[in-house]
Amino acid sequence: MERIEIHPATWKIALMIAGMIAFVVGGTFMIIYGDSVYEKVFGVLGIVFFGGFGGYALYLRSHGQGKLAILPTGIEIGIPGVNPRVLPWSDIEAFGVNKIANQEFTTIKLKSYQAWLSGISQEEAAAAVRFFRSMDLLGQTTAKIAVANDNDPRAIRQMLEGTEEVRSLIDILAYNRTKFGAEFQLGWNMRDRNAQEFAEFLEQCRRNSK
């Protein structure tokens, strides 16, 4: 088996960028023309999330993070803050599919973290935790705004349960396993087909590697 790099459809990337721009423009209008403080705060959140985190995600992708490749020895995969590294086939327990907020993800459930964590620098581990904490803070802020606007924050709060205990890269993987049933969740930006088909493709690659 040769190295296979996975690339999402170009039109999906273009659509994501267009969406980011639209939300940033919309957030700017809410800040300038919003009638209430909550509208202005939502505008700021829109700019921070779609402009800030979205732009950061594109930056990381341009530097190899957020990409996936299939190798004879396993799957080369990273997370925000951690450069892609090989996850051996032997360390994978199962592939599956998980649905979160109407979005389907291909999941990778692990038997062992040791090989993938081996050699990760302290700087990379710290960067991954900082990114996780930033997303948590954004979620907590969104929940508080939802309460202030008499909206139901339960779905957001349920998603955030346990995040306060995350202090390390191992904690992030364990949180994902507890919350979503698997350590890695592969969104459309890390696949070249739908979630179920990609899970089946990864399983076939694992079988072919033996």
| Number of residues that make up the chain | 210
| pLDDT(125) > 90 | yes
Q: Could you give the dihedral angle defined by the CA atoms of residues 128, 130, 136 and 141, in that order, rounded to the nearest 10 degrees?
A: -150
- What is the per-residue pLDDT across 143-167, written as a single tens digit (0 to 9) for each? 665 555 556 656 666 666 778 888 9
* The pair of three-digit structure tokens given for residue 184, joined into one six-digit string: 């890695």
Decide which of 209 and 24 is more confident: 209
Looking at residues 7-31, what average pLDDT do you find?
72
Report the pLDDT value the prediction gives residue 24, as an integer from 0 to 100: 74
* The pair of three-digit structure tokens given for residue 13, joined into one six-digit string: 């990337």
Report the pLDDT value the prediction gives residue 151, as an integer from 0 to 100: 60
Looking at residues 93-107, what average pLDDT do you find?
92
Evaluate if pTM is beyond 0.85.
no
Q: Which of 50, 65, 66, 12 is nearest to 190 (CA)?
A: 66
